Every structure is written in structure tokens, then in C-alpha cells.
Structure 1
Amino acid sequence: MKELAVILIGALLCGACSPKAYLFTSFHEPANEGLRMLYSQDGYHWTDLNRTLLKPAIGQQKVMRDPSMVQGPDGTFHLVWTSSWKGDKGFGYASSTDLMHWSEQRFLPVMEHEATTVNVWAPELFYDAATRQFIIIWASTVPYRFEKGIEDELNNHRMYYTTTTDFRTFSPAKLFLDPGFSVIDAVITKRKTDDYVLVLKDNTRPNRNIKVAFGTRATGPYTGVSDAFTKKFTEGPSVVNTGKEWLIYFDSYQDKKYGAVSTTDFKTFTDASARVSVPEGHKHGTILRVKKRILTRLLKGEN
């Protein structure tokens, strides 16, 4: 194992290599162990770091599902996650400068103003350079609030959001997306100035597949919801720009494997599953590019 680490570190330090690397936040079921990560040099082929970086300590169930991470302008990494299946009216938060030493975990009660909130799922972070603030979106069910399909009233989700500049003060939670159906697992993606794509899961029965919508601001509104471009029983989309194309990874949970589609315009999608490799056991996370030295230190296990 040590020999493999030496080889990997040497490759990362190679002058011919890209100055960036990719990290993919991850967790393994039953989600009580904590934050894991995959890494890659090309965004297509992933390796498990094979250790837990942060053990969950908050929330009713004290789990860490759906970890989403973004790096702020000052270099600080911010992490949010689902802390319970049901009952919590918020989610977990922690920060780090090196991904090995973490701040004290905090519970952010973003839906405490809605007494009947069933859950707060899959918080997703996005740094909006246009407004110099962080946006956090998540899915919650507030029963009897919205039109629904055949799903149970306690499983009729909509997307909500809050904004912050310092992770100490937050704007009041507001409705982020009501596409007229139950929606979860949404991810904000920026293509260029005033051009944003929202990748989302249509959680209605029998669909349960991935779609996109479009907006001119990070906070929306998002309109023009597309047809599905994955089969049923897919969720947890994660998006990365490899330089040549966009890849949208997703959990094909009925098949118990990860798949991917590629696109250049978010209108035409091609199955890319045969061109990617994702370690077994990986679950819903966020992909981000980091400086190579961050990954090098993780591989070395430096303090």
C-alpha cells in the first residue's frame, strides 16, 4: 500500500501532469462512519482515499449522508451534509483549510420556522462569485403545501435555499424550486456569466430520474425543465467540467452502481458509463477541482 502511495504521489508531482486534481466527496452506507473522498487526475477515473476524514457528531441520527463541499475564495473548504433521514430541521456543517483538520461541527436549523417539516435532505453548496456569497440548497417536505403525484404526502419534496457570506449569519430560508412535482438532489452548475444549469432528480412515482432546468442567476428562477436523460431509479447527480465536456455522474441505485452521461450543451446527453470508473460503495457527493498539493498532502497523510 505504501509503494502504491509513493507511485501516486510521484505522478501527482510530475511536471507533465495537470496542476489541478479532482476530489469527489463520498460516504458509505449506513452513513455512520463519516466523510470519505475519491480522487482523480482526469475526472473520469476515480480512486478511493480509503479512510474517513470526519466522523458525524450532530443531528438526531448522527449520520453523514450526501456530503457537499466547496472551496471559498480564501481557500477554506466548507462542508454540509444530511444529518438524519427524518426529524432534523437542518443539516450539519464544518470547515477545514486542509481537509484533515476540521472545525467543530455545527447544526444549521434552516427549516425550524416550518413546524411540520418532515426532513432536510442533501444540502448542496455553491459559491456565487457574481454576488460573493455562498448558496445552500436542499430538499424538504412540508406536508399539504404543494401539489403532488402518487407519492405519499410525507414524500412530496421541494427545494429551498439560504445564503451566507461567513457561515455565521444566514438569510431566511426561501423556496428555491417548485417545478410542479416532487424534486430532490439538485445541483447548481455555472456555464458562463448569467448562464446557470440546475441538475435535479424528479422524485415522483414512477419517474425517479435526472433532468435539468435553466436560469440566468444562481438563485433562479429555473425554468424549462427537460425530459429525463437517465433511466428510472437514478439519483444523486454530481457535475464536473473536464475541459472537453461536462460529465454528470449519478447513482443508479437499483443496479447498485454509478453511471454517467456526457454533454456539451445540456440538451443532448450521451451515456458515458463505459468511459468512467467509480469505486464500489461510493455514494452521493460533490466533485470539485483543487490544487494538486491538497491531494498530495491527503495521500501522504500529512498533518
Structure 2
Amino acid sequence: MKKHILGFAATAAFAILAAVPAEAHRQWLLPSATVLSGDDVWVTVDAAVSNDLFYFEHFPLRLDDVKAWAPDGSEAKIENAATGRYRSTFDVHLTQKGTWRIASVAEMLTGSYALNGKRERLPRGTTAANLAEKLPAGATDVQTAEASNRNEIFVTVGAPTTTVFEPTGKGIELVPVTHPNDLYAGESATFQFLLDGKPAAGLPVTVIPGGIRYRDQLNQIDLTTNAEGKVAVTWPEPGMYWLNVTTPRGPRGAAGEDAAPARRASYVTTLEVLAP
């Protein structure tokens, strides 16, 4: 496999969109609640990139790609959106009973091309669909790597439903064996992950409880999906948890940077675990 040369701009964009190692910055969506009831229900969501979960201290998550889907699968409106210095925030009016999905999904290309005897980097915002128009005339030896990044949360009004979990076949997706809004401390939950529509076997799964700022230990849980793409998590205590699944990084490049694999995917979700 050819090595792909990644520039600073592409790397910076990918760092914000993709999940990152445990010691680095993490992106997240944090709902005001995940289990609700009533007839006129709203959820407020904070969105940020930070070291500490879930504390605003680094960078706001941009809302350009954030969308919401109602329990019947229809797209819903993002309301009252605002972006500040350290976080973004928005509301969703939950007008239907059942489980809602709120997600930021990004498909992008990273890589480089040759032009006039020099290697140039693909500009930010390059995708498979617009690659031809992003390349200048005379570009040759185009080398690309696909990146699929999904950051999503689930909120349920009344009884849980499953329509919003219908896979799209793109990137890493969660298929619940245990519903993500039915989690309790001391109990085990099982999730299945798909990669491009197929069971994502052998992928590392990282689970970290929120409140890192207020304890000495990270309390990270490291797991691996089985042959069916499934993983079981036992929740040690109530609270909000950050869960990340990602494809492995490529080999180290000659310049000390990670060489991008031909396909890289990342998945992030925030889960609320309730007291039994």
C-alpha cells in the first residue's frame, strides 16, 4: 500500500472530526438528558472537543454537519444553535414518542498529488464526490485515503424504539443488542458495531466515564469487538460515558507521521447510565 502524505490542514481537520487516542483531545455531544417523558419535550445538547469529559476547555464542535432524526426516520430541525469560544449548543424539539438520533457525520478524503515536481496536499473539504473539481489542472499521482467519522447520541421520549438504528452501510455504526437508552449501573450492555455494513470484528473500543477533571484516575475501559462485531460493557457506576470505536492507525511514516490507511473510520457516542 502506498504511503499517503497528510498535511497540517488535513490533519487538523481530521483531528477535530475523528476520535483520538485517550491521552489527546476528544470530541463529544452531551445531551441534557437521554430518557424523557411528557408531551412538550426538548433536549439541549452541548458539543465540544476537550481533554476532560465533559468539561469545556479546548474548542467548540462545529455544527455544520449536525442533524437530528425523529423516531419515524424523518429529519428534524436543529434549533437555537450557537457556537462560543469553548463549546457549541443547540436544542431539538422532541415532537414524537420514541428514540431520536442526533449526529454529526462526516465523509472526507485526505491525501496528496504531484504538481510541477512538488507534492501538494488535498484541500480541506475534499470528498470522493468533489475530488475532480478540487484537483488543479495538471495534477498527477493522486493518493487518497477515505475517512468516515460519526459522532452521535440517542434520546428517548417514552418507550424506546429502534427505527433510527437502521444501518446506512457507511462507516462505523451501532446496532443495539441492548438499547443505548436502557443502561443501568452494575448491569452489562451489549452493542454490535458494523463497518461499511458488515460486522466490525477486532476493533478497539474505549469507554471512559465523565468527570475526569475531578479524579486522579482515567478509569478507562478497553475492549475489543468479537467476530460478530459485538462487545459487552459492564457499567461500574451511574453517569455519562464516552464510547469510541475506531479502525487502527497505519504504520509510521518516514517523517514520523502516521501514514493514513486506505480506509479509516471512527465512531463516538455519549451514553447515560442510570442508577438501578
Same fold (TM over 0.5): no
Relative contact order higher in (CA < 8 Å, ≥ 6 apart): 2
Higher Cα Rg: structure 1 or 2? 2
Structure with more strand by fraction = 2
TM-score of Structure 1 vs Structure 2, range by shorter chain:
0.3 to 0.5
